[in-house]
Amino acid sequence: MKNVTARSYSFAKDRVDLTSVVGICLVLAFLLAGILGTMVTSIALLSTVFILSFLRISTPRGIILNERDALIRSDSFFTFALGIMHFAALPMALYSFTYEGVGVANWALYVLGFGTFFGCLSFNIAHMLIHSNNRMYRSLGRVIYSSLGFGTFASAHIMVHHPRIGTARDLERVRPGERWLRYAARVYFSGIRLGRRAESLRRKAFNYGQLDIVHPHAQYVLFACVTALISALLFGPMGLLNWFLVSLVARMYSLTTMYLRNK
């Protein structure tokens, strides 16, 4: 049975986390509250999300997953197409609350809603793509991360986390007694440093540039700057601010789910 594997992608430790469900609920909470303009709706939905965030579904040990039956997988064209759609969704999201003259409270809810949306869906799609054997798919995953200022995670996850997974040196492992803020700062900044070092060693081993002419971390910065510039040109200074805040929320959401999953 060569098509059967024990891999469960991001669902580790023989359990299925409801992070995707929580993310979708967050999106609905923030966007519905923004549309209706009622704090009551926001509080009610966020309370539900708060409760759901602590729920997990346990699966029997030894369960196996047939990758060929999965629609969203690292080498699937469907996953690649979803990744392409990210670049349509991002400008549409920025436009929807940059020019509409929404109030401050609704504007904040839109920022949180879209940030959660991209952190939950776009980053998960990008995560699948960077694990692909297809270089074009991997590149798309890196660009998706970079478009929201998180490109360095692509290198840190593959080249730092995976070789050390399950060990005390695992970058994404929660240290005993480690709080969320300290964890997020460590994973983010250590990921940049260690990922850059790992990419530099890889490039040196392949004689500088046989695989990539420009250092991947320089590419991440370039892609992020290009996205920021396009946001500013299309939507003005407010569009640039909205892009920065949405990307910040997306990164914080991703780090939060990572903390909960590895705790």
Q: How confident is the model at residue 55, as a pLDDT?
A: 40
Ramachandran bin of 16, using left for φ above 0, alpha for ψ from -120 to 50, beta for the remaining angles: beta
Measured CA to CA, the distance from residue 96 to residue 93 in angstroms comes to 5
116 neighbors 250 (Cβ within 8 angstroms): yes
Query: Over the stretch 3-50, which tens digit does the pLDDT of each residue have?
Result: 333 333 333 333 334 445 555 555 555 555 555 554 444 444 444 444
Q: Give the 3-state secondary structure of residue 149.
A: coil
Residue 72 has pLDDT above 80, yes or no: no
CB 258 within 8 A of CB 172: yes
- The DSSP element (H or E) to which 232 belongs, if any, is helix 216-262
**What is the rounded average pLDDT of the residues 97-104?**
74
pLDDT higher than 60, residue 177? yes
pLDDT tens digit sequence for 109-154: 888 888 888 888 888 889 889 988 888 999 999 999 999 999 999 9
- Determine the Cα–Cα distance for residues 92 and 19; give it in Å rounded to an integer: 24
By the 10 Å C-beta count (0-12 exposed, 13-18 middle, 19+ buried), 263 is classed as exposed
Mean pLDDT value across residues 66-86: 66
Domain ranges of the chain: 73-262
What's the CA gap between 44 and 36, in Å, rounded?
13
- The two three-digit tokens of residue 124, written as one number: 């998960």
Residue 169 has pLDDT above 90, yes or no: no
Query: What is the value of pTM for the model shown?
Result: 0.73
